[in-house]
Structure 1
Amino acid sequence: MKRNIRLRRLTGGTALVGTMLMGTAAIAQTTPAAPAPSDQREAAPAAEQENAATDDIVVTAQFRGQRVQDTPIAITAVTGDALEARAQTSITDIGNFAPNVNIQPAYSSFGSAINAFIRGVGQNDSNFALEPGVGLYIDDIYYGATFGAVFDLSDLERVEVLRGPQGTLAGKNSLGGAVKLYSQKPDGSGDAYAEATFGSYRRIDLRAGFDLKLADDLFMRVSGVSKHRKGFVDRLDYGCVNPGQGIAASPRDGTGCKIGTEGDQDLSAVRVALRYAPVGPLEVNLVGDYVDDTSSSVAAKLLYAGNPNIRSYVPGSPAGGVPFDSRFITGAKSYTIYNTYSNGGNYTTVFGTPYQVLPGSFAAEPRNDVRSWGLAGTIDYDLGSGLRLKSITGYRKADGYSTTDLDGSPLDLGLNAGSFGYDQFTQELRLSARIGDLADITLGGFYYDSSSYIRQRVEFPTVLLDFLTDDPISSTSKSVFGHAEFHLGPDLNVIGGLRYTNDRKTYEFSRRNADGSAISGVPLTTNFTVAGLNGLSSTFSGDRVDYRIGLNYRFSNALMTYAQVSTGFKGGGVNPRPYNAAQAQSFGPETLTTYEVGFKSDFLNRRARLNGAVFLNKYNDIQLSLLACPDSPCALPANAGDADVFGFELEGNLQPVDGLTFSGTVGYLDFDYTRINPATGISKDAVAPFVSRWTSSASVEYAHDLGSGRITPAWTGLITRAFSSMPTMALAATCRDAACSTRGSCTKPRIAYGRSRQA
């Protein structure tokens, strides 16, 4: 049996990672190893090449096993070993090695979720009323929410990042692209491994796994991970740090002015996989996993506070007391914030009016946790005569709790806390046929059904709102699809794909007072009341046809080129945050048509590789939030814009000598709005959220053979990841430039709230 031990130490900043694999010689096996996974058995290089130094990764982006270099798609594929060598352990690290890809943890008001964008297309709001713009897949099972999607990358066989609309391939909501995670399959090898990582802020990560042969043709693999880290942003007591400023310090017992932290991580997960793979036409894979994440709120920092008309409540003073201004912004390079996650005895007036909120008792813990589990079953069957049938069945459930102190200060301007729940069932069937040397064809169907809920207490004293929500959301999607690749010659292929999709989503509204009683109205304005929402529901339904037409030609063993036109869409939904009943309405899907040309090349006896693509996106009916509605404020999602997005991507690696590998990527995006609704507060020259004009990364690895193992020092870094638009939270206004909101840019914000990241 071979035992692998991996030791790693990380500190802040760029890390030098050493991975050591040590073990005894493998014991000879009396029975043959498990056959290769069925989805990779067909894969073979287009032509045999000697002196191959660059590894070939087999991907299944077109429903069958192909080398990356033979796949006419802008795709980045990374093996699990490469992820380990680079210390990339979370789905949020994927943007570090794929051009024009940005995946970040979402702000805590959206629960334990991610913001995923590819080529400027994605979704920055994890509310279940909305749809993601980047498809996430685990072993080909679609995950239909960004909540609960902070997946760990441990024990993976590979990651595939597909850029551009995957409307006929990956399917549902893969408008900007798709991220596909493929787990290691059991093979009965008897391998085992253990890994420890430690670093700043008391970080300790543990990973372990083993592979067993249970019986002839039956194999099991078990893996687990544990991550722990103290928070790296300190929450400070403003009154303690700034005595005599009108806000009293909280009682302390010799603990100084620190009242807590943000950015703490506490996660444990386990995964069990069973594989039945007899010699013959059948292969069955069953996988179950469980994740328990009890981390704190996502680390954040107040960036802007400049509205003196918002003031803390002072008894006997109708004009209010301490204004909300720059006094609550801590040093630019300090990892500190003054939020309290409590009304804390400070209450506000309504934008300078004499309305005042009576003292309450709403306080919450700075939590951002989620518990999830999933089951998946995949059946592959070779029907003979070039026919293969594949069934992919999955169920996943996630429940969590999060809190958000929206103002980032000791004032009580906005506090949300509540629980989120999501479960889904998916079923996909594929029938693939190989017609000699003429064509490869896949026909299939896909079904998706989900139910979810949002239960929160929402407090905005500045507009006299303090209410409970208990909103169930249901969603279904059905589609049929076909994909064909016609081989017109040994080096020339024509590709066509078509998919029909029918979506339906229903959102039900519940609004009650904080004590559970019925809401009778809000005194501020007759058009600004949530009272009429209780019991209402709204539904979006619609269908869509997407297509893909492509041509690829291999000039030689070293160069393949392709050109294609492809489409995709992000489904419509329902406004989850209406200010009154008239705003409880649906909106339509946004669509994308991409014109793309690209190349895949190997040279220097395949010690060097360079892949590239140039594209133009026609991005229509973009879902943006309207900030002004007739006679009322609003945050109403609408199909309010169009844009043209031009860009290119380059990916390359070089292996000058055995073991030494240099890798790098470059991405460019030029995002230009061509139509915009003025009610969004966005101008045509505004920079779209989560878009960087330039992105680039680089890495160096050296694998040295030790005889019984190897050592692999590696360096990986982002040379450029300068976002022109950083995600923030804004209350009652949006913003622009350095502190822009996730919904666009217009006037300066009253509150801007940005994420902090560990150095």
Structure 2
Amino acid sequence: MAIQLARHRRVFGLRTVVASAIALALTNQVFAQDNASEEEIEAITVTATKRAQVIYEVPIAISAFSGDELATQGITDLTDVGKFVPNLNVTGFSAGHTSSANPFIRGIGLQDHLITTDPGVSVYVDGVYLGRQVGQNWNLNNIERIEVLRGPQGTLYGRNSVGGAINIITKQPDEVTVTKAGFELGSRGRLKGDVFINREINETMAYNVNAGYNSRDGIGEFINVPDAEYNVGENEEFYGRLSFKWAPHDDFSFVVTADFNDNEGGLRPYQTLIDEVPTGAYYQGARWGTPFPFGPLRNSDTAANPYDNATGTKEVTMVSNEARGISATADWNWNDDYASKVVVSHRSSKYKAGLDDDGTIYELDQFPEVGEADQTSIEFQLNGYIGENMDFVSGIYFFNEKGSNLQDPASGALFNGSATLLDLTQETTSKAIFFNLGYDMTEDLRLSGGLRYTDDEKEATADVGIGPVYAEDAWNEVSFDISANYTLENGLNIYGSIQNGYQSGQFPARPYCLFGDPNCFVASENITAINYEMGLKGQVTDSFSMSVALFNTDYEDLPYQVSTTAEGGFNTTNLVVEQTSRGVEFESTWELTEQFKVHSSLGYIDVDVDEQGGVKPVAPLTPEVTASISPSYHMTLEGGNDLDIRLDYSYRGDMYGEPTSDPGRHTLVESRQLVNIDISYTNVEGDYTLSLYGRNIFDERYDNARLNTGDYVLQILSNDPSEFGVRYSKHF
């Protein structure tokens, strides 16, 4: 926070049983709660509006997770966060990579990863936007908190937040001496170790460092590649983060942070379902009718076990990524009224992945792929107070990203025995200026509003083997938001808001349409969204807190990705639609006794998409119902030692893997129910905790997504079967 709020501002079977408890409890979760005190539930302070506020006073739908509670909930990455927030679903498959995370909030997101596509949900780490999700699946250690903002956030967070934003805030260096080590050992070969150290160097300088290793065995085998380095779904990761803070006085601080992440493993599990009809190209043996020596391609040519892989090409068995970042943040409180903040960052990422789409030993659709991206961002903020009742947040923002994706014939990408190529490059430059003003009309009524002007430019080149095609485009948009929140006599906060969001247009991801139309490499129009929302949040009693939000969001020029097989390869085009999303989200914490507490969440969304050529699309990867319930029990044992027992249940309803509900497309992703359990023992001194954990204890096997190309269906499988183990953490 740029200004420390020193003034008058108020900164105030078992599956069936568990599933039934959701309907009976009606006690839906705000994960934004820390441990409860004897008199009231303590509310976390968030910075979702780029100012410090108690979560109940923020006039948007927001969920927040305390970093210290993540492990006990079985949350190890962003995919797990998506199991416990209403109307949030996180998938991960991009090019078969095991470390990608693709969030969908309220029906908006992006499953793809290529440089010409942008996500609809923005992810930030300490104020730095992560432009690419492959290879940057943030390891959730050294986390202060995670904030999930639902609905368009175009004013304060800018483009690519038309669905929402996820903020990851890490622990800053301070004067407290901390040495903490953790170790985890579990089934499926789980081995994890990490250490966190925080030290004061002198009265003005401090540092912290977080480093770790995490590995897990595979879930299947590459049955036709005996020398594959990794098994299906296997993962091995090294990560680290180092921060230095210099604070020569109370009104100025300067923090420099560097981080890295290195990951290698086996291709994520998936299954190819071949359309076995006599006229089908795959059934005939190839797309264009050239038969294999062994006859038609059948489902029997794929692996019998869906978690095995029958490819015969070693190049597509391994995935890897490298991510590096450095940032500098300066906070300067000029006086009691004004402060400034500067955030400068440079990040780079590289990955290797790729699929054998047909999933057989034959060299038919194999696409080894490499990609990289470099981004630089600069943000300057000027924040402060005007008079006694008015405050503001303002700033300017610059972002530049250069990246590429390459599927190269020299790497073994073959199509019907002939070479294919997909070579994409793009440079994006985004500039913005924003201003948000808040006014306390009375002690109980606050009004706020903001504007943001964004100017985007993209230059892209595509080559699918017939020569490069260059294109460029530019977009600009003014985003706005207006909100009001009022504190009732009982302390609850009621709010209403109108939020506007914007995303620049996008070039086709896989433009094999160039074989038939050399002018098809054209960007879509800019995407706009306007969200109408009202909500009620706060502490109803000393033991019960809740948050409810009703929303209606209209989207214009929203591109859905539609993929088909084409002459050159795997063609992806944009189906541009108008969409209306409406729904309700309900979260709460209920402390039944001093020992027994229940968190829960419930989300419902209805998505209406305008007809396209007489066909009514559906929002992909968007379950109509999301829910979770998390009872926990705390007891103090004889001698003062503590025992904590926690159960976490998560439900995601049926959804479709692409923008159609046609049963003949076979892209229905069925509902899933996941249950985690954690039993933790903490000694009376509080310097160590020993835990027994179970994740997905009923071994639910489910689809992450489904994609129909016309010749076959890619059934993208989860990579998280049941896991049981022990976790130990020690404070020195």
TM range (shorter): 0.7 to 0.9
Q: Give the match for residue 25 of structure 1.
A: none
Q: Give the match for residue 712 of structure 2.
A: 750
Q: Give the match for residue 524 of structure 1.
A: none
Q: Give the match for residue 629 of structure 2.
A: 698
Cα distance change of structure 1 residues 618 and 403 upon mapping to structure 2, 3 Å threshold? same
Amino acid of the residue matched to residue 713 of structure 1? I
Contact 1:485 1:495 in 2 (8 A): yes
Q: Deviations over 1:170-218 (max 9, x none)?
A: 2221110000000011112111111111222111111211111111121
Q: 1:466 aligns with which of 419, 427, 446?
A: 419
Deviation (angstroms), 1:41: 6.9
Deviation (angstroms), 1:450: 0.9
Deviation (angstroms), 1:411: 2.8
Q: Give the match for residue 673 of structure 1.
A: 609
Matched, 1:65 2:52: yes
Q: 1:722 aligns with which of 640, 648, 653?
A: 653
Contact 1:161 1:179 in 2 (8 A): yes
Q: 1:490 aligns with which of 421, 443, 464?
A: 443
Aligned partners of 2:292 and 2:266: how far apart in 1? Answer: 36
Q: 2:233 aligns with which of 250, 263, 267?
A: 263
Deviation (angstroms), 1:587: 1.6
Deviation (angstroms), 1:368: 1.6
Normalised to the residue count of structure 1, the TM-score between the two structures is: 0.79
Amino acid of the residue matched to residue 96 of structure 1? K
Aligned partners of 2:103 and 2:37: how far apart in 1? Answer: 39
Which secondary structure state, in structure 1, belongs to the residue aligned with residue 222 of structure 2? strand
Aligned partners of 2:364 and 2:567: how far apart in 1? Answer: 23
Q: Deviations over 1:116-150 (max 9, x none)?
A: 11001011111110111001000011111222231
Q: Give the match for residue 17 of structure 1.
A: none
How many pairs does the alignment contain?
652
Contact 2:365 2:416 in 1 (8 A): no
Matched, 1:161 2:148: yes
Which secondary structure state, in structure 2, belongs to the residue aligned with residue 364 of structure 1? helix
Contact 1:572 1:586 in 2 (8 A): yes
Contact 1:640 1:677 in 2 (8 A): no
Matched, 1:454 2:409: no
Contact 2:115 2:425 in 1 (8 A): no
Q: Give the match for residue 180 of structure 2.
A: 193
Amino acid of the residue matched to residue 83 of structure 1? L
Cα distance change of structure 1 residues 92 and 402 upon mapping to structure 2, 3 Å threshold? same
Matched, 1:323 2:296: yes
Q: Give the match for residue 637 of structure 1.
A: 573
Which secondary structure state, in structure 2, belongs to the residue aligned with residue 586 of structure 1? coil
Q: Give the match for residue 356 of structure 1.
A: none
Q: Deviations over 1:528-565 (max 9, x none)?
A: xx41xx23211121101111111111113531111111
Q: 1:369 aligns with which of 304, 320, 345?
A: 320
- Where in structure 1 are there 5+ consecutive unaligned residues? 1-35, 238-249, 343-362, 512-529
Cα distance change of structure 1 residues 634 and 413 upon mapping to structure 2, 3 Å threshold? closer
Deviation (angstroms), 1:108: 2.6
Q: 2:250 aligns with which of 280, 305, 318?
A: 280
Aligned partners of 1:747 and 1:587: how far apart in 2? Answer: 22
Aligned partners of 2:261 and 2:438: how far apart in 1? Answer: 39
Amino acid of the residue matched to residue 483 of structure 1? N
Aligned partners of 1:318 and 1:184: how far apart in 2? Answer: 59
Amino acid of the residue matched to residue 625 of structure 2? W
Q: Give the match for residue 384 of structure 1.
A: 335
Of 443-452 and 454-463, more deviation after overlay is shown by 454-463
Structure-to-structure mapping, 1:88-167, within 5 angstroms: 88-109=75-96, 112-167=99-154
Aligned partners of 1:201 and 1:630: how far apart in 2? Answer: 39
Aligned partners of 1:666 and 1:479: how far apart in 2? Answer: 35
Aligned partners of 1:652 and 1:203: how far apart in 2? Answer: 33
Structure-to-structure mapping, 1:303-382, within 5 angstroms: 303-308=273-278, 309=280, 310=282, 311-312=284-285, 321-328=294-301, 334-342=305-313, 363-382=314-333
Aligned partners of 1:279 and 1:630: how far apart in 2? Answer: 63
Of 693-702 and 157-166, more deviation after overlay is shown by 693-702
Deviation (angstroms), 1:709: 6.8
Deviation (angstroms), 1:495: 1.4
Cα distance change of structure 1 residues 51 and 72 upon mapping to structure 2, 3 Å threshold? farther
Q: Deviations over 1:578-597 (max 9, x none)?
A: 22222222222222111111
Contact 1:112 1:368 in 2 (8 A): no
Amino acid of the residue matched to residue 568 of structure 1? G
Aligned partners of 1:266 and 1:378: how far apart in 2? Answer: 31
Q: Deviations over 1:711-732 (max 9, x none)?
A: 43322221x2133124799xxx
Deviation (angstroms), 1:281: 1.0
Q: Give the match for residue 668 of structure 2.
A: 737
Which secondary structure state, in structure 2, belongs to the residue aligned with residue 327 of structure 1? helix
Amino acid of the residue matched to residue 140 of structure 1? G
Contact 2:559 2:574 in 1 (8 A): yes
Aligned partners of 1:742 and 1:619: how far apart in 2? Answer: 25
Contact 1:306 1:751 in 2 (8 A): no
Which secondary structure state, in structure 1, belongs to the residue aligned with residue 620 of structure 2? coil
Aligned partners of 1:161 and 1:39: how far apart in 2? Answer: 23
Cα distance change of structure 1 residues 723 and 152 upon mapping to structure 2, 3 Å threshold? farther
Cα distance change of structure 1 residues 608 and 641 upon mapping to structure 2, 3 Å threshold? same
Q: Give the match for residue 24 of structure 2.
A: none
Amino acid of the residue matched to residue 293 of structure 1? N
Of 392-401 and 585-594, more deviation after overlay is shown by 585-594
Aligned partners of 2:159 and 2:11: how far apart in 1? Answer: 31
Q: Deviations over 1:297-323 (max 9, x none)?
A: 11223345434542448xxx9685332
Deviation (angstroms), 1:646: 1.2
Which secondary structure state, in structure 1, belongs to the residue aligned with residue 509 of structure 2? coil
Cα distance change of structure 1 residues 41 and 228 upon mapping to structure 2, 3 Å threshold? farther
Matched, 1:571 2:522: no
Q: 2:482 aligns with which of 549, 556, 571?
A: 549
Which secondary structure state, in structure 1, belongs to the residue aligned with residue 56 of structure 2? helix
Which secondary structure state, in structure 2, belongs to the residue aligned with residue 495 of structure 1? strand
Cα distance change of structure 1 residues 565 and 661 upon mapping to structure 2, 3 Å threshold? same
Amino acid of the residue matched to residue 144 of structure 2? E
Amino acid of the residue matched to residue 131 of structure 2? G
Which secondary structure state, in structure 1, belongs to the residue aligned with residue 70 of structure 2? helix
Aligned partners of 2:274 and 2:39: how far apart in 1? Answer: 54
Q: 1:590 aligns with which of 505, 514, 527?
A: 527
Which secondary structure state, in structure 1, belongs to the residue aligned with residue 68 of structure 2? helix
- Where in structure 2 are there 5+ consecutive unaligned residues? 13-35, 672-702, 722-732
Q: Give the match for residue 369 of structure 2.
A: 418
Which secondary structure state, in structure 1, belongs to the residue aligned with residue 334 of structure 2? strand
Aligned partners of 1:559 and 1:610: how far apart in 2? Answer: 9
Amino acid of the residue matched to residue 326 of structure 1? N
Which secondary structure state, in structure 2, belongs to the residue aligned with residue 587 of structure 1? coil
Deviation (angstroms), 1:37: 8.9
Deviation (angstroms), 1:109: 4.9
Structure-to-structure mapping, 1:471-620, within 5 angstroms: 471-511=424-464, 530-531=465-466, 534-579=467-512, 580=514, 581-605=518-542, 607-620=543-556
Q: Give the match for residue 690 of structure 2.
A: none
**Larger Rg over CA atoms:** 1
Aligned partners of 1:329 and 1:576: how far apart in 2? Answer: 27
Q: 1:687 aligns with which of 614, 618, 626?
A: 618
Deviation (angstroms), 1:699: 1.3
Deviation (angstroms), 1:748: 6.1
Contact 1:726 1:754 in 2 (8 A): no
Contact 1:418 1:457 in 2 (8 A): yes
Normalised to the residue count of structure 2, the TM-score between the two structures is: 0.82
Aligned partners of 2:257 and 2:349: how far apart in 1? Answer: 17
Cα distance change of structure 1 residues 748 and 434 upon mapping to structure 2, 3 Å threshold? same
Aligned partners of 2:157 and 2:567: how far apart in 1? Answer: 43
Contact 1:130 1:573 in 2 (8 A): yes
Determine what percentage of the aligned residue pairs are the same residue: 23
Aligned partners of 2:367 and 2:566: how far apart in 1? Answer: 27
